[in-house]
Structure 1
């Protein structure tokens, strides 16, 4: 049975429903619309994989666009994923040479705005550009999230604890990309929060080649002022000394502008390892009092996963 078939059966049952997935490679493009469903691997070795990229044509003849590329989309509340590997295997490296795709964004896991209280535990989430798109309240525990360009992004309050955040090697690349690209509304206090994570890299990624991230003003929406924070994380030597960088957007008047780290809300506290650095104009450190406010209860607005 495919996972998609199991999800269709789950839609006929009262919540909560647990789908136990046996090891194997499942080449599927999944859309989870069943509230309260859990997808759990019975043993290691469950891989869900697809290869759609933003510039590719979907079955309806239109380009997929970023959001629709996801290997697995969560579109319902109270969904849990455990022990799975979710991968977008679009050949990003070949595309950097050929530029054939017309858009290399290729999402592995998307948590849609209509989702809420999504828990992801002990999962691998793998891609290159735009690996993980988080647009609803979510918690990630002991996951391995792999990518290169803006590979953890979105406008949600999301808490990542004890995760490995891995930058990928791309041959001949001078810069190895950007980790976080938050698009949080200015009225929201918390966005992407990384707590006690290991920010690391694949073999071959050079020292000083990777940004912690950049603020994404999606669609030129001036109400967006992204926020991300790295708390008590170990940062390997691939992280740039400046930490954060700017990101371009087109404002409502059609003018191309840049949103800088100084304008956005991008922070660290308690960083350690060779990629840690002292405070700088682009690399702001929270005070102890400010960091104390980053509790799971506050970040997740009272939800206890």
Structure 2
């Protein structure tokens, strides 16, 4: 089985495909219209649309330079298909920025890098840390992404000397951030759905997205809705016993009534049955008053989830039973209620307050 890095290195050409970490079966030749239905520099959709193509057919050859050029609010950056290997930072000044993959298949347009928390800083001042490992960091409010893959292909097996194995594909901090048809690939800490600070909440919406990983691979303190998303847990070759990891690790501030809401989604696995927990609470040292919140409702939980003990505890002083974890009308082998005390269930009345509209307030994402 090829490694993820091998798979990504095989993705060459404008039509390359990434399929769950496996190598592309073939690579199609470069398309004569690299930006598809989104126009081109010669036929720009509007003055605020910029084009990125590594082969020189756009305004820029890399995504960061295009984002930097998108001064002011409301720009769109269209990215030609291919593997774009570099880190990317979308600063707070780039409000209402949209990144779009030119292909309607998110597997064709990949933003990837391979830093980890334990990666040494270039200036020798220590290691990057979890946040510093992110392939993509989004600080801007009103950010939207469509049809893109965000990946971190750093591997534990390649770096056994590292103690920091967190390797973030994307860290999202901005309020009103929306992702449609996107993919998030990594192992530990893949998708960091966060906020700018403890005192500032951030609403985020993920629709028809795919995320994979092993340890806490969707985590952070955002008020995030995951609508019709697919979460896939991966086999770990460095562990022989359960658990291999956890899907969610929310760190919701105690004052925030809305943490993670998962609705009409599914969890599948490549690991043996019962080798994953659905979630564990993260109470970071920077916020000992955190009160992590997760609601999973009307979702299919596959056999990879430990049905009898679906939740775990990260820190002994903060057991999951003291947090805001709940389910409602889930189904599938991983959703069986075999030990009722281990699976808090919402009543129909309680569930009426756990909806995307309640989570997002006066913001209505444009689908």
Distance 1:296 1:156 in 2: 14
- 1:270 is aligned to 329
Gaps of 5+ in 2: 1-60, 195-201
Partner SS state of residue 290, structure 1? helix
Q: What are the superposed Cα offsets for residues 167-221 of structure 1, whole Å, 9 maximum, x if unpaired? A: 011124322200111111122111011101111112xx01011001111111163
- Cα distance, 1:105 vs. partner? 0.4
- 2:144 is aligned to 80
Distance 2:350 2:255 in 1: 18
Distance 2:74 2:86 in 1: 23
- 2:182 is aligned to 123
- 1:32 is aligned to 90
Q: What are the superposed Cα offsets for residues 264-304 of structure 1, whole Å, 9 maximum, x if unpaired? A: 11111111011112262232111111111112221112211
- 1:254 is aligned to none
- Cα distance, 1:94 vs. partner? 4.0
Question: So what's the TM-score if we normalise by structure 2?
Answer: 0.76
Gaps of 5+ in 1: 249-256
Distance 2:312 2:286 in 1: 17
Is the CA contact (8 Å cut-off) linking 1:180 and 1:214 kept in structure 2? yes
- Cα distance, 1:92 vs. partner? 2.5
1:137 aligns with 2:212: no
Is the CA contact (8 Å cut-off) linking 2:304 and 2:334 kept in structure 1? yes
- 2:112 is aligned to 49
Distance 1:287 1:57 in 2: 49
In terms of Rg, which structure is larger? 2
Distance 2:109 2:287 in 1: 39
- 1:191 is aligned to 259
Question: Which of the numbers 176, 179, 186 marks the counterpart of 2:244?
Answer: 176
Distance 2:351 2:310 in 1: 18
Distance 2:146 2:81 in 1: 13
Distance 2:306 2:236 in 1: 17
Is the CA contact (8 Å cut-off) linking 2:261 and 2:356 kept in structure 1? no
* Bigger strand fraction: 1
Count of equivalent residues: 288
Q: Output the aligned Cα RMSD.
A: 1.3
Is the CA contact (8 Å cut-off) linking 1:121 and 1:141 kept in structure 2? yes
- 1:302 is aligned to 362
Partner SS state of residue 199, structure 1? strand
- 1:253 is aligned to none
Question: Which of the numbers 145, 155, 166 marks the counterpart of 1:105?
Answer: 166
Dislocated runs of 4+, deviation >3 Å: none
Distance 1:210 1:93 in 2: 20
User: Greater RCO between the two (CA within 8 Å, min separation 6)?
Assistant: 1
Partner SS state of residue 297, structure 1? helix
